[in-house]
Amino acid sequence: MFRHNLAYELKEVLRVREFVLWLMLFPIILGTLFKVAFGSIYSSELFDSIPVAVVKTSENAVADELLKALTEGEEPMLAATFTDAENAKQLLLDGDAEGILTIGESMELTVARTGMIPTMLQEIVSRCKLYETVIRDAIATDPASVETVVAKLSAEVNACREVSPAADNPDVYVQYFYNLIAMVAICGNMTGLHVSTNNQANQSQLGARKNCSATPKGIYLTAGLLGSCIAQSVSMVLCVTFLRFVLRVNFGGSLLLLYLAAILSGCLGVAFGFFIGSIGKMRHEGKSAIAITVSMALCFLSGLMMGNIKGILATKAPWVNRFNPVAIISDSFYCLNMYSDYRRFITKIIGILIYITVFTVLGVLFTRRKKYASI
Amino acid sequence: MQVFKAFLKVLRSKFGAAIIYIALFFLVGILMTKSGTDESVWEKSKMKLVIEDLDDTPESRALTEFISKDNTIIPAFANEDDLTDAMYYTTVDYAVTIPKGFSERLAAGETEGIFECRHIHESYAQVNIQMQLEKYINTVAAYQALGKSTQEASQAAVAALSKEANVELLQKENETKGENSELLTFFRYMPYILLSVIMNTLSPAMIAMNRKDFRYRTDCSGISPHSYTMQIFGASALYVGGIWAVFTLAGGIINGTMYTGRLWLAVLNALLFALFSAVLAIFVSEFSPSDNVVSILTQVATLGMCFLCGVFISQSLLGSGVLSAAKFLPAYWYIRVISMLNGELAFDAGEVALALGIEAGFIAVFVLLAVLVRRSRVTSAVARKAMA
């Protein structure tokens, strides 16, 4: 009996055209767009030599020495173009230079915008001023020590001992793909919603037939939920496979655990839809609109549209990240990438399992023992 | 006015979902607009740092004071995981721990690895803070070489390092950096919400009106096709105009700004995009998809267009290939106008007119496409009937 119901449930899921569209085409289209849009943004944000235009109006030994130190080596701080004032201005306005270093009696800086790179250039130019101040102090205190002081000022020190966490892939833009998978998972609510609708006599003709059949409600409800979870798991596996192997998105961490998290997330989506579908007497279309809108709101709060929202919420309202099911799903992928131990990943998986249980139990509680005197 | 009233009634029933989107957008609007900065004058970029001073000596306090002066200091996190999360999501750029014994090591000149440092991204901010820390260590060492004690050298270093170079900020011709940046940030995110709200509500309403039974009843009534179209058009215009007016008013209220001068161009820009969203919704509804398919198309259209055209991520960060493709989408031209108004691009009245004209062109194209699809569907329906 159960196997019969399960087989028909699977057939029915595949007949829902939008299921195929939503859950299979959607990540393919959006994943491709995401890859095209920010596949290479992260690498462009990493530190690289800063292009500057250098205009020399007179000799300045300190500035020359400083500039030499900053433009030489394997990874120099600056990529200098020596030119005249007019051309330097053009380079700056065209965006080919981040700033103009004018070397005269002192070193001056001209920039076209504010931001971290111009701030770094100001730090570099200020260093010239620092040299002058310290050398002046040295001459006033002990002129014989000037050489030692200059050597100390320009000595190469490695003052920072790195104890940074080891991320498999620190690319912050990969979180958009985490959120895309989370969105596909939560959109599994559409199949869960169908299970709920197809089991209520006042919601669908199929529900009416099922309710007056001899099959116990527990059997066809369990078969329905299991069938939806199987179908949703297939779409989650396809989604992760497409993103990982076709678009070559580096998710970091264990791929096997990523698949496991994705499959469980899909089941969460199904349970969420089942729960929404079980509440009240609203028609399927209305419940569907609520499920999609709530899902999109949760996706927004998880960072699908605004990548840094999770960071903002972590400081302003951390409970949102803790309770938002979509954020928990995307966090499980993030934890696999960022943490070599599985402590946090397991916490997130437990969170997903709790949500699956709570939504399913509530859904069952809302649908059980319903009597239909007139439909 | 029967059709007009019926259409508004259908629209009202679809408005529940729109309310959630509208509320969400107001939240985003408030969050985003409060992060705008004035770029008309030179201002140093502040790094977000976590400094943990385990040494707590005059030398370590002098260093903390020096680092804190031009940066935003974030209180230390309760655990390492929270710090890692904050660094990944860039709410913290860098974390420095001044370990116990810092002052003794500084006095002994043992500066190799004197700080414990944490970061995730190899960013400019990370290089900048490392540069500052090493500059401080070098300066203290220089003053120590002049015979000063470590404490005196630290104080002298902080004094010497506080002298900063002047920076000249060159403004491009026609550039209007920083003017009403908060309000324009609000307008920047409007394409997402206009498309989401209008497509998710107008399309299902149009589909309901295009249902066979409804159409057949209307066709055999006394209402002429012209009057029917005009009433549908009027109700749609009223709805879209209402949505646009709500956001325009809200933008002004949230930011406490009256619309003046060039800001009206942003308002006009939003109106054109609202109209585009409406004609796109009508075009989609001509294919009579189910409500769920409308939702799919809405998500693909909104998220895809917004990511490709620079609504969520600045156009300056997108590659040239992406931007070339984005030119075939109206949101690209919408964002171009906003960029010219907020000073990201030099303001050029001709360029603004061109962008607005292209947006109007998109509206015209989709109106024609919608009419074409409707006619072809009606023709094929009539042909089928004749065949039967």
Give pLDDT tens digits for A103-112.
888 888 999 8
Scanning A3-62 for CB atoms below 8 A from B yields 17-18, 21-22, 25-26, 29-30, 33-34, 36-38, 40-41, 44-47
A17 has pLDDT over 70: no
Give the confidence band of B176 by pLDDT, cuts at 50, 70, 90.
low
Mean pLDDT, to the nearest integer, of A308-331?
Answer: 90
Among all residues of chain A, which has the CA nearest to that of B115? A160
Q: How do the domains of chain A map onto residue ranges?
A: 2-39+173-367, 46-154
**What stretch of H or E contains A108?**
strand A107-111
A107-111/A99-103 β-pairing: antiparallel
Residues 6+ apart with CB under 8 A from B323: B310, B315, B332
Instruction: Please give the C-alpha separations between residue A341 and each of A166, A188, A206, A297, A336, in angstroms, as whole numbers.
Output: 11, 30, 48, 31, 8
With an 8 Å Cβ cutoff, are B128 and A108 in contact?
A: no
Most confident segment among A150-159, B27-36, B163-172? A150-159
Higher pLDDT, B370 or B379: B370
Spell out which residues of chain B touch residue A280, defining contact as CB-CB under 8 Å.
none
Among all residues of chain A, which has the CA nearest to that of B37? A114
CA distance A218 to B178: 63
Q: Quick check: A139 contacting B, CB < 8 Å? A: no
CATH number of A46-154: 3.40.190
CA distance B133 to B117: 11
Mean pLDDT, to the nearest integer, of A180-204?
Answer: 87
With an 8 Å Cβ cutoff, are A162 and B164 in contact?
A: no
Q: How many pairs of residues across A and B have Cβ atoms under 8 Å apart? A: 283
Mean pLDDT, to the nearest integer, of B345-369?
Answer: 92
Spell out which residues of chain A touch residue B88, defining contact as CB-CB under 8 Å.
167, 170, 172, 334, 338
CB atoms within 10 A of CB B382: 10
What would the pLDDT profile of A227-257 be if each residue is shown by its tens digit?
Answer: 989 989 998 999 999 999 999 999 988 999 9
CB atoms within 10 A of CB A78: 22
Q: What's the DSSP call for residue A373?
A: S
B88 has pLDDT over 80: yes
Give the confidence band of B327 by pLDDT, cuts at 50, 70, 90.
very high
Spell out which residues of chain A touch residue B89, defining contact as CB-CB under 8 Å.
172, 307-308, 310-311, 314
A302 has pLDDT over 60: yes
| pLDDT at site A359 | 95
B202 has pLDDT over 60: yes
Higher pLDDT, A358 or B293: A358
CA distance B166 to B168: 7
Most confident segment among A345-354, B50-59, B84-93? A345-354
What would the pLDDT profile of B4-50 be if each residue is shown by its tens digit?
Answer: 888 888 888 777 767 777 777 677 666 655 554 445 567 788 899 99
| pLDDT at site B54 | 92
| pLDDT at site B334 | 96
Higher pLDDT, A141 or A185: A185
Instruction: Output the average pLDDT for chain A.
Output: 87
Identify from B127, B200, B311, B332 which residue to disrupt to test chain A contact, counting A C-beta atoms within 10 A and taking the largest count.
Answer: B127
Residue A162 dihedral angles phi and psi, to the nearest 5°: -75, 125
Please tell me whether residue B115 adopts helix, strand or coil conformation: strand
| pLDDT at site A337 | 92
Give the confidence band of B230 by pLDDT, cuts at 50, 70, 90.
confident
Higher pLDDT, B21 or B276: B276
Task: State the nearest Cα–Cα gap between A137 and chain B, in angstroms.
Answer: 9
Mean pLDDT, to the nearest integer, of B236-260?
Answer: 85
Q: Quick check: A346 contacting B, CB < 8 Å? A: no
| pLDDT at site B252 | 82
Higher pLDDT, A63 or B293: A63
Mean pLDDT, to the nearest integer, of B120-143?
Answer: 90
Higher pLDDT, B274 or A21: B274
Task: State the nearest Cα–Cα gap between A216 and chain B, in angstroms.
Answer: 31
| pLDDT at site A133 | 87
Mean pLDDT, to the nearest integer, of B60-82?
Answer: 89
Mean pLDDT, to the nearest integer, of A199-209?
Answer: 82
B172 has pLDDT over 70: no
Give the confidence band of B382 by pLDDT, cuts at 50, 70, 90.
low
B135 has pLDDT over 80: yes
Range of weakest confidence among A360-364, B263-267, B314-318: B314-318
CA distance B52 to B63: 11
A370 has pLDDT over 80: no
Say which CATH architecture domain B48-161 belongs to: 3-Layer(aba) Sandwich (3.40)
Name the residue facing B139 among A142, A153, A309 (closest C-beta).
A153
Mean pLDDT, to the nearest integer, of A157-185?
Answer: 88
Cβ–Cβ < 8 Å for A180, A34:
yes
Q: Where in chain B is the domain with CATH 3.40.1710.10?
A: 48-161
ipTM, two decimals? 0.84
Sign of CA dihedral B85, B88, B91, B94: positive
B245 has pLDDT over 80: yes
B178 has pLDDT over 60: no
Mean pLDDT, to the nearest integer, of B63-71?
Answer: 89
Query: Rounded to 10 degrees, what is the CA torsion of A278, A282, A283, A284?
Result: -40
Residue A109's DSSP bridge partners are: A101, B167
Scanning A147-186 for CB atoms below 8 A from B yields 148-149, 152-155, 157-165, 167, 170, 172
| pLDDT at site B29 | 64
